[in-house]
Amino acid sequence: MFFSIVIFIITLLVLVLIHEFGHFLIAKKFGIKVLEFGFGIPPKLWGKKIGETIYSLNWLPLGGFVRLQGEDEVGKAGISNRDFRAKSVGQRIAVVAAGVVMNLVLAWILFYIVIIAQNFKIIYPTAEPGVYILKVEKDFPAEKAGVKIGERLISIDDQKISDIDTARGIIRSKDKMSLTLTLSDTEGKKERQVSLIPKAKDDQVLIGVVFSPVPFRQYLTFREKLFSGITYSWDITRVTFAGLGQTLQQVISGNLGQASKSVSGPVGLAVITNEIVSEGWTALLPYLWFVGIISLTLAIFNVLPIPALDGGRLLFLIIEAVTRKKVKEDVEKMVHQVGFLILIGLALLITFSDIRKLLP
């Protein structure tokens, strides 16, 4: 477990550093003075000034920050041309958005690595459990009938399929009689039917597929392969927002226990890390996929218009760009401070929930 925690902390450090390096890099490009590059949330544990920037480690390892000159100051007296607020609204938007872009690009790179290493096949995100086609064997009835990898098995001879054991049991019970499979795409749409006759092999009745409780997608054409990492990120984003909507409905309806099950913080992610890396070197690709998911999730949630996050700051900048009038600095600062306190509170609640899940 200790080794897994170390790996997770290093992973979190890399993800945060990449995100904040995006802000740092673009700020430097536009001549903005970077006062501090920090990992974690203060109070400060350690810091060292190199050039004009302090590089720091902080006690609460739940994120990071780049502190820019003039970013949260109120009042216009004595504004330097190296202040964040002295730059054009377009440049400020670029600085704020750079962290999200870095996490997004990292997720694309990791997904491409995993997809290519698995011969352009990868676990496919879905909000619903089911029975999916993981593999289609050559020269078996399923292949000849046109069954495809990634399809969802809805029913066999009008008998609804809820789990893999049910599907296998029905196929065996039919012996070598004709079967009608109702299949759909991964999302359970675009249903179609195929008929086939099972094949007997080694005293088993088989149709020539490997079932999975989670769907996989295979990218076949050159265009699909070329954009696979990007389109896969989009698919995960759709499922993430669908899951977020369900969680909000549960919170609004007062079902906090169910909502907490679908949310994880650093402790929960560390537990998942331990489960993955305990498999040894065979866990390399699954862990790269997991890191890609975290990086993409960071990008998604950081771009939401929540005060204190990048998305909250972008919202104020977009308002300024549209109205050509800057929101009052003291108002914006107060909004972000309140948002920051709320986020800290939520982070602590999620951490407490993760710890409770570990208790017997």
Check if the beta carbon of residue 305 is closer than 8 Å to that of residue 314.
Answer: yes
Cα R_g (the chain), whole angstroms: 25
pLDDT tens profile 164-210: 899 988 888 877 788 899 999 877 788 999 999 888 777 788 899 99
Q: Kindly report the pTM of this predicted structure.
A: 0.80
Q: How do the domains of the chain map onto residue ranges?
A: 2-116+288-358, 132-218
Is pLDDT larger for residue 128 or for residue 50?
A: 50
DSSP 15-27: HHHHHHHHHHHHH
Q: Which residue has the tokens 């950081």?
A: 302
Does residue 360 have a pLDDT over 70?
no
Pairing state between β 53-68 and 132-136? unpaired
pLDDT tens sequence across 102-161: 999 999 999 999 999 999 989 887 766 789 998 898 889 999 999 988 889 999 998 999
According to CATH, the topology of domain 132-218 is: Pdz3 Domain (2.30.42)
Q: Residue 264 above 80 pLDDT?
A: no
Sign of torsion over alpha carbons 193, 213, 110, 96: positive
Beta bridge partners of 284: none
